[in-house]
Amino acid sequence: MEVAKRLEGIGEYYFSQKLREIDELNRSGKNIINLGIGSPDLPPHPEVIKTLQEEAAKSNAHAYQSYKGSPVLRKAISEWYQRWYNVGLNPDTEILPLIGSKEGIMHSCMTWLDKGDEVLVPNPGYPTYRSAVKLAGGKCMEYVLKEKNNYEPDFAKLEKKNLKKVKLMFVNYPQMPTGQLPTTELFEKLVAFGRKHDILIIHDNPYSFILNENPMSLLSVEGAKDCVIELNSLSKSHNMAGWRVGMLCGAKERIDEVLRFKSNMDSGMFLPVQLAAAKALSLGKEWQDEVNAVYQQRREKAFELLKLLKCKFSKEQAGMFVWAKIPATYKDGYSLSDEVLYASNVFVTPGGIFGNAGDRFIRVSLCALAEKFEEAIQRIKNQKTKL
Ligand SMILES: Cc1ncc(COP(=O)(O)O)c(C=O)c1O
């Protein structure tokens, strides 16, 4: 079968290929320590699991659910946004539960892009922005995030581009993969930029609770709902990546537009999952502190490992990764990653998969036990090749 033209230029996702290679290495007895992927290894809160179990045992829990999600979950999302981000959202009209932020990225592209429409995407940035734009028939216009600009868009440079065909801009702070935190000034500039050029800014915000004491929403900027929608997720904040629960928040008109697409794609999530997610969102600060204490301990180990690899990094990063610059002796992050994989049986992600601006970086995930970091450090210390 010939695949559809829309798949031209869309390769298999890097991790899906690499994990296959790692599986093969493991089968040949290598026992690879995977510090690549950002999938939380810790469980959700026990009350969340209990809610899922209790609700799933009820006979009336198994029917199709509303496309707009359960009112219980929408109310919980609204309260969560108010409590943590100081953003008011109408639970009936301004919130759409999703199966993850990733779904929101694709749905946004399918809802708003026509063939040839342009979209600003970050380089380095989450690869799904680029593939979703292409799948929907749009064209990516990359904006480079540089360390010397604190990984913020260079607005002066953007203003010089022809933005006539640009309909959407993806932004993401705390930024993945660089770990850069947002500032109020940056958020205000983004809203002003979106308003000035009539561009819908899509803020992807799944990392705001990880190793960050001050979660921020782009919707907190005054008047933001005119030109911003925000995607959020329980994948990282509540250790629920496999549950597939996220949300899209914004003006009623935007929610209704996405709903026109989404309601033709699927139905609402399994009700017990929605009710358990509502439970998760009601957890207090103790929960975030507990999760962050674990990540903090692991991050210290990650710093140690990166020092061994002679990488340079900022300690002021948020999210569940550490982004680090490789030494000049390596051609790029791919060569360092491959060397560590084949010589030490440790996998770290080459920064180039997030765009060529990441070529001289690697990314270390904090989703592995501290003991695994210890073991990885020992293996690298024993590594015989250059370093
Ligand atoms: C920047 C970014 N956005 C979105 C996602 C996907 O999140 P979700 O599990 O909510 O679909 C990820 C996952 O790795 C991510 O790094």
Task: Please provide the distance, in angstroms rounded to a whole number, between the alpha carbons at the two ends of the chain.
Answer: 46
> If you measure from the C-alpha of residue 32 to the centroid of ligand 1, how many angstroms do you get, rounded to a whole number?
24
Using the structure block, give the residue that is written with the tokens 């002796």: 329
Rounded Cα distance, 262 and 259, in Å: 5
> If you measure from the C-alpha of residue 160 to the centroid of ligand 1, how many angstroms do you get, rounded to a whole number?
31
Residue (of 199, 274, 189) closest to 229 by Cα position: 199
Q: What is the pLDDT of residue 64?
A: 95
pTM over cut 0.75: yes
39, 204, 365, 367, best to mutate for ligand 1 pocket (most atoms within 8 Å of CB):
204
CB 118 within 8 A of CB 141: yes
CB 45 within 8 A of CB 287: yes
Indicate if ligand 1 lies below 6 Å from the C-beta of 122: no
Cβ neighbourhood burial of 47 (10 Å; 0-12, 13-18, 19+): middle
Q: What is the pLDDT of residue 387?
A: 57
State how far Cα 269 lies from the chain centre.
20
C-alpha distance from residue 12 to each of 7, 16, 125, 330 (Å): 10, 7, 17, 26
CB 77 within 8 A of CB 247: yes
C-alpha distance from residue 61 to each of 58, 181, 271, 275 (Å): 6, 40, 6, 10
CB 368 within 8 A of CB 41: yes
- Residues in contact with 6: Cβ distance below 8 Å, sequence separation at least 6, in sequence order: 134, 135, 137
Q: What is the pLDDT of residue 363?
A: 98
Q: What is the pLDDT of residue 85?
A: 98
> If you measure from the C-alpha of residue 284 to the centroid of ligand 1, how many angstroms do you get, rounded to a whole number?
23
Residue (of 355, 386, 369) closest to 177 by Cα position: 355
Rounded Cα distance, 101 and 233, in Å: 6
CB 40 within 8 A of CB 239: yes
Rounded Cα distance, 199 and 368, in Å: 39
Indicate if ligand 1 lies below 6 Å from the C-beta of 176: yes
State the DSSP string of 80-113. Answer: HIIIII-----TTTSEEEES-HHHHHHHHHHHH-
129, 235, 317, 366, best to mutate for ligand 1 pocket (most atoms within 8 Å of CB):
235
Alpha-helix residue ranges (DSSP H) falling in the chain: 14-27, 46-56, 71-80, 101-112, 127-135, 155-159, 184-197, 252-262, 271-281, 285-308, 333-344, 370-382
Rounded Cα distance, 48 and 353, in Å: 34
> If you measure from the C-alpha of residue 105 to the centroid of ligand 1, how many angstroms do you get, rounded to a whole number?
9
Q: Atom of ligand 1 at shortest distance to CA of 125?
A: 1
pLDDT, tens digit only, all 387 positions of the chain: 989 988 887 877 777 788 899 999 999 999 999 999 899 999 999 999 999 999 999 999 999 999 999 999 999 999 999 999 999 999 999 999 999 999 999 999 999 999 999 999 999 999 999 999 999 999 999 999 999 999 999 999 999 999 999 999 999 999 999 999 999 999 999 999 999 999 999 999 999 999 999 999 999 999 999 999 999 999 999 999 999 999 999 999 999 999 999 999 999 999 999 999 999 999 999 999 999 999 999 999 999 999 999 999 999 999 999 999 999 999 999 999 999 999 999 999 999 999 999 999 999 999 999 999 999 999 999 876 655
Indicate if ligand 1 lies below 6 Å from the C-beta of 204: yes
Rounded Cα distance, 352 and 239, in Å: 27
CB 281 within 8 A of CB 70: no
The values of phi and psi at residue 317, to 5°, are -110, 150
Please give the helix or strand (H or E) that residue 248 lies within, else none. Answer: strand 246-249
> If you measure from the C-alpha of residue 104 to the centroid of ligand 1, how many angstroms do you get, rounded to a whole number?
10
Cβ neighbourhood burial of 6 (10 Å; 0-12, 13-18, 19+): exposed
Indicate if ligand 1 lies below 6 Å from the C-beta of 100: yes
Indicate if ligand 1 lies below 6 Å from the C-beta of 107: no
Q: What is the pLDDT of residue 19?
A: 87
> If you measure from the C-alpha of residue 102 to the centroid of ligand 1, how many angstroms do you get, rounded to a whole number?
6
Indicate if ligand 1 lies below 6 Å from the C-beta of 126: yes
Q: Atom of ligand 1 at shortest distance to CA of 232?
A: 10
> If you measure from the C-alpha of residue 251 to the centroid of ligand 1, how many angstroms do you get, rounded to a whole number?
22
The values of phi and psi at residue 247, to 5°, are -160, 155
State the DSSP string of 23-72. Answer: HHHHHTT---EEE------SPPPHHHHHHHHHHHTSGGG-S---TT--HH
Per-residue pLDDT of 191-219, as tens digits, reads 999 999 999 999 999 999 999 999 999 99
Indicate if ligand 1 lies below 6 Å from the C-beta of 206: yes
Secondary structure (3-state) at 132: helix
CB 348 within 8 A of CB 361: no
Taking residue 356's Cβ as centre, other Cβ atoms within 10 Å add up to: 13
> If you measure from the C-alpha of residue 385 to the centroid of ligand 1, how many angstroms do you get, rounded to a whole number?
35
CB 266 within 8 A of CB 65: no
